Amino acid sequence: MTVSPAMQRYAAEIYRLQQDHEQVPLSLLSSHVDSSAQAISTMVKRLQKDGYLVHEPYRGVRLTETGEKIAMPSLRRHRLTEVFLVKVMKYDWATAHGLSDVFEKGVNDEIEDRIDELAGHPTRCPHGEPIPSKDGVMPIVKDMPLIDVPSGSDCMISRVRTHDMEKLGYIGELGLVPGTSFHLYSCAPFKGPLRLQMKPHDHLIGYELAASLWVEVTQQGPGNTPPILKTSK
């Protein structure tokens, strides 16, 4: 069964989206793929016919185990080119994802190997996402959303999970990039701001921005202490 580069790219995009969605709605897929609704519908039907995904009407699609395997080459190529664009060609990490969507289409196996070599055989993209091995194995990343971490914890940023250029630009200005360590001093209740203690400056960030940051917890804190309610005598 022949798998075209276009099939691999679609599978890769679905793989990315299903990390945050149990089922990927076609409307969401359409917003991330530069194709017409008719082209998307045709490709989904083809992938389903070949056993690479399951499509539930009114809910969306999800890759099968075989579908995830055909996604790995495109994911690897995309994330490698992101590293190359940032590390070698000195592009900003906020623009790397969009540029890589175009760049990777002209990359063959020989060029991919050369990019991998020039980039220093990276295991993560500039945003911290793992890069599959050449034989299609996705590394396991043990991290969690910052918004789920109890206050008082020591953390290291693992991944920045957004492609929004304005968010990435701001996150970069704050220095909240993969590999950065900090202490989560406090989390305000009801989706309030989070205070991060780090060098050289502490930062107070909003809940929405914090939701884009995934971290490895090096030492878990006690969490917020609930207030003591006083009762009248």
Of 68, 88, 106, the one marking the end of a domain is: 68
At 53, which CATH number? 1.10.10.10
Q: Tell whether 128 is covered by a domain.
A: no
Q: Tell whether 127 is covered by a domain.
A: no
Q: Tell whether 199 is covered by a domain.
A: yes
Q: Tell whether 207 is covered by a domain.
A: yes
What pLDDT is recorded for position 2? 84
At 212, which CATH number? 2.30.30.90
What pLDDT is recorded for position 217? 97
Domain count, the chain: 2
What pLDDT is recorded for position 227? 45
pTM comes to: 0.89
Q: Tell whether 17 is covered by a domain.
A: yes
Q: Tell whether 116 is covered by a domain.
A: no
- The one-digit pLDDT tens for each residue of the chain (233 residues) are 789 999 999 999 999 999 999 999 999 999 888 788 889 999 999 999 999 999 998 899 999 999 999 999 999 999 999 999 999 999 999 999 999 999 998 999 999 999 999 999 999 999 999 999 999 999 999 999 999 999 999 999 999 999 999 999 999 999 999 999 999 999 999 999 999 999 988 999 999 999 999 999 999 999 865 444 444 44
Nearest to 107 by CA among 77, 136, 71: 77
Of 43, 68, 93, the one marking the end of a domain is: 68
What pLDDT is recorded for position 233? 43
What pLDDT is recorded for position 13? 96
What pLDDT is recorded for position 33? 87
Domain holding 210, by residue range, is 144-219
Q: Tell whether 210 is covered by a domain.
A: yes
What pLDDT is recorded for position 224? 67
Q: Tell whether 185 is covered by a domain.
A: yes
What pLDDT is recorded for position 107? 93
